[in-house]
Structure 1
Amino acid sequence: MTKLKPIAQQVVAIVGASSGIGRETALKFAAKGAKVIVAARSEPGLLSLVEEIEAAKGEATYILADVSDFQQVKAIADKAVATYGRLDTWVHAAATGILAPFEQITPEEFKRVIDVVLMGQVYGAMAALPYLKQEGRGALIHISSLEGRRSLPLQSPYSSAKHGLEGFLESLRVELQHENIPISVTSILPAVINTPYYNKVKTKLGVKPTGIPPYYQPSLVADAILYAAEHPTRDYIVGDVGRVLDLLQRLSPSLVDTLLVLVGFQGQRTKEVKSEDAPNNVFAPITGYDKVEGDFRHWTIPSFTEWLEKILP
């Protein structure tokens, strides 16, 4: 059985940390005494995050990285070990997306989402595993999505990437078990979360996109990540609605098809006009969104069944 260190004794790398779930997670790890190395493409976001952590007497360093490039991802793990002497937990949250009908997505756009959302996570595991093996234990925590269990319309590249991630983690987990290597491999599967994701992705819907409400706050996902950093966990669905959707998908995928035909198209559109030429973060970072929360706090609800993930194997 894998035994993980207390958070206060850990060195944690957090990839995709300039905003949203990654940023909130970095703040919470640092507040509990972990030494954190944070990575993203947005230098202003990383600088402000490190300043916030240090102002609260935490310890952090940053490195710029585009996760579609393996050497840049490897540099994150290398810097963690060079700075703090080891690596205990790897948290991979970097993502981008395009909301559009499949026929309006170019091959280059589709591939870019796969490169960031799937290959970036693969590169993360490749970079972190040698150092975790050196320590003889540790945690790989990958931020997946309920879209890894159930794809949504208008998000075919992102859903494809998350399904690929789930397949990759299942394979890796069994290989490590076969080798009797005590490294925990966790998939965190959030429902719709109130982060700046929907501000930053590319849209070809003619309007600013949204997740299908209700939303949950990023702190709920960060709490799940911190739990998995101390308690070996296979999968952790975040949000009651996510657990309901997962159950429905298992019982009747065709029923979920029908529900998504009814709510999945209008439900991902706001009334705010937005051009497909508007700035987006698919190929390069954009400024102005280096924060934890997005614009949908008024649509957030609490979740009451998180305890389920802590008692299930």
Structure 2
Amino acid sequence: MTTSLRAHRPEPAVRTVVITGASGGVGRATARAFAARGAAVGLLARGEAGLRAAADDVRAAGGTPLCVVVDTADPDALARAAEQVEAALGPIDVWVNDAFSSVFAPFTEIEPEEYRRATEVTYLGCVNGTRVALERMRARNGGTIVQVGSALAYRGIPLQSAYCGAKHAIKGFTESLRCELLHDRSRVAVTMVQLPAVNTPQFSWLRSRLSHQAQPVPPIYQPEVAARAIVHAAQHPGRREYWVGASTAATIVANRIAAGLLDRYLARTGYRSQQTSESHDPGRPGNLWAPADRHHDFGAHGEFDQRSTGHSYQVWASQRRGPLATAACLAAGGAAIWRWARR
């Protein structure tokens, strides 16, 4: 049974948290999770309808929201958003970089400007957010930055080269930054949460050139699983990173010990496993250039509730050090690899 995060330490005092990509998916669920702990939450995203609904969620959960419409690819606009948050809610204690956009397609079918845009939002958006947060946190010598990553920060898969490249870049950037903060003996902490496949609206609103509807690769987790892990990481930022889901552990471990074999496995299964049987119009624009939730709220969940789980034993293990965590992670990873091998 998954242990509640509340059991690990007393609830913190009310904090000011900023979440990019807060209007839907993991960002939306994370906003609710922080609000349930009494936080004031700066909600940053491009979609006005999604942000308004996210603000309602934060209020209902017991937090104080502030919505700012902003594109994380614009560093100046992001700096102004941070100023707005601090003026209204107080000094930023936690900054969560979650915003992203991408294209589902083989690399050769992605236009250069699409690739650049996906990289600007997903990778440079994270860099921009980190810079803005650091400018404020270093002056106070305190605060936590949480980078929302993915198992795909370790292992690239077909049809998602733009997203995989950006997540790999975020991991490398974060490692460099962590070393610099340690060198400076800074009390600003940075940690990363590596996520599995999550049931979010991204599979409905990302640009896709696939002939069938995109889907997450099973096993699929609900966004609340990711949100709980992100809140825990913000409260316990001494860990370099957290792995969420047995599939994340399996992917990272398998890539370390048998990357070539995984290349061939994904070449055989990666196209089929990322598409449903439902037809898709490859001409639909998606949300790469304009938000999908400008006029309509999509919420935190995608279309795969019936196939998604709301808990993860591996998260529980990842939050603990020592032999128990090691054994649990290896067991979870080994079980997932064994299931893969049987397909």
TM-score range, shorter chain: over 0.9
TM-score, reference length from structure 2: 0.87
In structure 2, distance between residues paired with 1:85 and 1:57: 17
Of 31, 34, 41, the residue aligned with 1:36 is: 41
1:123-150 Cα shifts (integer Å, max 9, x gaps): 0011010111233211100111111100
Find the counterpart in structure 1 of residue 327 from structure 2. none
Q: CA deviation at 1:36?
A: 0.8
Residue 240 of structure 2 aligns with which residue?
234
Report how far residue 52 of structure 1 moved.
2.6
Partner of 1:48: 53
Pick the aligned partner of 1:258 from 264, 269, 275. Answer: 264
Correspondence for 1:16: 21
1:165 aligns with 2:170: yes
8 Å contact kept, 1:7–1:229 = no
- In structure 2, stretches of 5+ residues that fail to align are 1-8, 323-343
CA distance in 2, matches of 1:257, 1:157: 17
Q: Which deviates the most, 282-291 or 26-35? A: 282-291
* Structure 1, gaps ≥5 residues long: none
Offset at residue 72 of structure 1 (A): 1.6
Q: Distance in 2 between the 1:54 and 1:24 partners?
A: 13
Q: CA deviation at 1:79?
A: 1.5
Q: For residue 8 of structure 1, give the secondary structure of its aligned residue in structure 2.
A: coil
1:306 corresponds to which letter in structure 2?
V
Match of residue 182, structure 1, among 182, 187, 201: 187
Letter of the 1:128 counterpart: A
**Residue 296 of structure 2 is aligned to residue 308 of structure 1:** no
CA distance in 2 between counterparts of 1:92 and 1:203 reads 23
For 2:80 and 2:232, how far apart are their aligned partners in 1?
26
Q: Distance in 2 between matches of 1:84 and 1:27?
A: 17
- Code of the residue aligned with 1:235 in structure 2: it is E
The partner residue of 1:295 within 283, 294, 303 is 303
Change (3 A) 1:291 1:225: same
Residue identity opposite 1:310 in structure 2 = Q
The farther-off stretch of 122-131 and 203-212 is 203-212
SS at match of 2:197: coil
Tell me how far apart the structure 2 counterparts of residues 168 and 195 of structure 1 sit (CA, whole Å).
26
Q: For 1:240-269, what per-residue CA distance to the aligned partner results, in whole angstroms no more than 9, with x for missing partners?
A: 111011110111101111211221111111
Q: CA shift at 1:208, angstroms?
A: 1.2
Tell me if the contact between 2:38 and 2:62 (Cα under 8 Å) persists in the aligned partners.
Answer: no
Shift of 1:289: 4.7
Root-mean-square deviation (Å): 1.6
Contact 1:279-1:286 within 8 A present in 2 as well = no
Q: Deviations over 1:186-219 (max 9, x none)?
A: 1111010001111111111112111211101111
Instruction: Classify the secondary structure of the residue corresponding to 2:43.
Output: strand
- Map of 1:266-281 to 2, 5 A cutoff? 266-281=272-287
* Residue pair 2:46, 2:291 contacting (<8 A) in 1 also: yes
Q: Is the 8 A contact 2:41 2:58 kept in 1?
A: no
Matched, 1:222 2:201: no
Paired residues of 2:26 and 2:226 also in contact (CA < 8 A): yes
| Preserved CA contact (<8 Å) 1:207 1:270 | yes
- Separation in 1 of the partners of 2:62 and 2:38? 9
CA distance in 1, matches of 2:39, 2:17: 7
Counterpart contact for 1:7–1:29, Cα < 8 Å: no
Alpha-carbon spacing, 1:195–1:7, altered in 2? closer, same or farther (3 Å):
farther
Query: What residue in structure 2 maps to residue 154 of structure 1?
Result: 159
Pick from 62, 75, 97 the counterpart of residue 92 of structure 1: 97
For the Cα contact (< 8 Å) 1:196–1:289, is it kept in 2?
no
Corresponding residue SS for 1:90: strand
Q: CA deviation at 1:183?
A: 1.4
The question of whether the paired residues in 2 share the 8 Å contact of 1:6 and 1:230 is answered with no
Shift of 1:24: 0.6
- Deviation sequence 1:36-89 (CA, Å, 0-9, x none): 110100011111111232244421111001111111211222112111221100
> Percent sequence identity over matched residues?
34
Q: Does 1:138 align with 2:143?
A: yes
SS in 2 for 1:271: strand
Kindly tell me: are residues 289 and 46 of structure 1, through their superposed partners in 2, closer, same or farther at Cα, counting changes over 3 Å? closer
**Aligned counterparts of 1:252 and 1:24: Cα–Cα separation in 2:** 34
Letter in 1 for 2:93: D
TM-score (norm 1): 0.95
Does 1:67 pair with 2:72? Answer: yes
How far residue 5 of structure 1 moved from its aligned partner, in angstroms, is 10
- Matched to 1:177, the amino acid is L
CA contact (8 A) 1:88 1:135 kept: no
- Partners of 1:6 and 1:184 in 2: CA distance: 19
